[in-house]
């Protein structure tokens, strides 16, 4: 099998590329990336070492695709992933990467009759609707109630039939627009596709920032003994997310790659679920225990732009269709990222400190 992974030097793309090449040595795996995000350059040597072929190019440029070899499947893992992208000025780069870039990838896949696996986001679900959900305030976290004002929400989390009307961030909108176009290619061009709406993905080699990669950011701030803050929702740190280890995501993508007919045309939520969820307050406690360090955390009661109180993925559909469910919990994620920071401190300090 020949595979093209876009965003292939990014956190998710490189993890998928290296795992696929390691588990299927006879596969030819190409990793395409424009190296815009700081830290992605550190993955080039890792890709090469694994036997992955790196291509320096940009999905925004359809001319770049003319030079690519034919492949059997495309894994579209490229994105400008910041939920705040485009809000401080022009959204051109965001739209050209996350929407126009996806169209270029689709046309390339169509040309070679390649299967198409798309990594979308839970951010396609509208902010205001999520903020109206019924919740209970527990000792260390907010939790969803079973009784909800809209379909697709329960104490298990958010499901695929959650309403899509409303604003969701420019990032979420570009991904949702891509989803709609992918469905058209699936229906009218008979391109085999699957869309994965991923929750918070994390793990070693993620270059975490405030607006994307919060898990690594939180652990790194503890490791390097710097300050953090509980922002919004009264400054209690009770807002909650579920965390999906990139190795768990790999197992799902691997299954889809080899059973595409069973998920062809599907849209699937994929996240850590309730079992692998944590509030900032709970995450802080685990970071203190694992790193052995306690850092100052300031309290800022005011909410931040595009933030949400809670998001947990309901994996019911994807588990029923594929048998997949995440296996790696919060503590193991913190332990792995802490070990990675210790092992690569010199290279990572300028980026994460």
Query: pLDDT per residue over 38-74, tens digit each?
Result: 889 999 999 999 999 999 999 999 999 999 999 999 9
Q: Is residue 73 part of a domain?
A: yes
Query: pLDDT tens-digit profile of 323-340?
Result: 999 999 999 999 999 999
The pTM (predicted TM-score) of the whole model is 0.97
Q: Which domain holds residue 12?
A: 1-125+168-198
* Number of domains the chain is built from: 1
Q: Is residue 52 part of a domain?
A: yes
Q: Is residue 90 part of a domain?
A: yes
Q: Is residue 12 part of a domain?
A: yes
Q: Is residue 280 part of a domain?
A: no
Q: Is residue 352 part of a domain?
A: no
Query: pLDDT tens-digit profile of 137-190?
Result: 999 999 999 999 999 999 999 999 999 999 999 999 999 999 999 999 999 999
CATH of the domain at 80: 3.40.50.720
* pLDDT recorded at residue 229: 97
Mean pLDDT of the region 79-92: 87
Q: Can you tell me which residue has the tokens 């997310």?
A: 241
Q: Is residue 149 part of a domain?
A: no
Q: Is residue 3 part of a domain?
A: yes
């Amino acid at each position: 099998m020949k595979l093209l992974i876009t965003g292939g030097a990014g956190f998710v793309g490189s993890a998928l590329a290296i795992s696929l090449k390691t588990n299927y040595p006879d596969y030819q795996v190409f990793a395409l990336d424009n190296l815009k995000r700081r830290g992605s350059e550190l993955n080039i040597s890792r890709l090469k070492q694994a036997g992955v072929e790196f291509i320096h190019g940009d999905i925004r440029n359809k001319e770049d695709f003319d030079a690519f070899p034919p492949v059997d499947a495309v894994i579209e893992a490229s994105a400008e992933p910041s939920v705040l992208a485009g809000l401080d000025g022009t959204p051109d780069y965001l739209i050209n990467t996350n929407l126009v870039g996806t169209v270029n990838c689709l046309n390339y896949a169509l040309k070679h009759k390649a299967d198409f696996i798309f990594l979308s986001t839970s951010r396609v679900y509208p902010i205001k609707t999520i903020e109206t959900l019924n919740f209970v305030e527990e000792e260390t976290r907010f939790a969803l109630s079973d009784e909800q004002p809209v379909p697709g929400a329960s104490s298990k989390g958010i499901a695929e039939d959650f309403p899509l009307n409303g604003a969701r961030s420019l990032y979420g909108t570009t991904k949702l627009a891509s989803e709609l176009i992918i469905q058209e290619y699936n229906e009218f061009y008979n391109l085999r596709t699957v869309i994965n709406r991923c929750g918070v993905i994390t793990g070693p080699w993620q270059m975490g920032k405030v607006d994307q990669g919060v898990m690594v950011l939180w652990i790194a701030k503890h490791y390097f003994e710097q300050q953090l803050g509980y922002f919004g929702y009264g400054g209690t740190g009770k807002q909650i997310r579920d965390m999906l280890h990139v190795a768990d995501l790999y197992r799902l993508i691997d299954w889809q790659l080899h059973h595409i007919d069973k998920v062809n045309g599907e849209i699937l939520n994929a996240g850590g679920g309730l079992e692998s969820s944590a509030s900032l307050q709970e995450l802080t406690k685990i970071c203190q225990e694992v790193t052995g360090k306690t850092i100052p955390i300031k309290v800022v009661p005011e909410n931040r732009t595009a933030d949400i109180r809670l998001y947990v993925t309901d994996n019911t559909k994807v588990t029923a269709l594929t048998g997949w469910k995440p296996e790696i919990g919060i503590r193991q994620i913190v332990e792995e990222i802490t070990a990675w920071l210790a092992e690569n401190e010199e290279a990572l300090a300028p980026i994460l400190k």
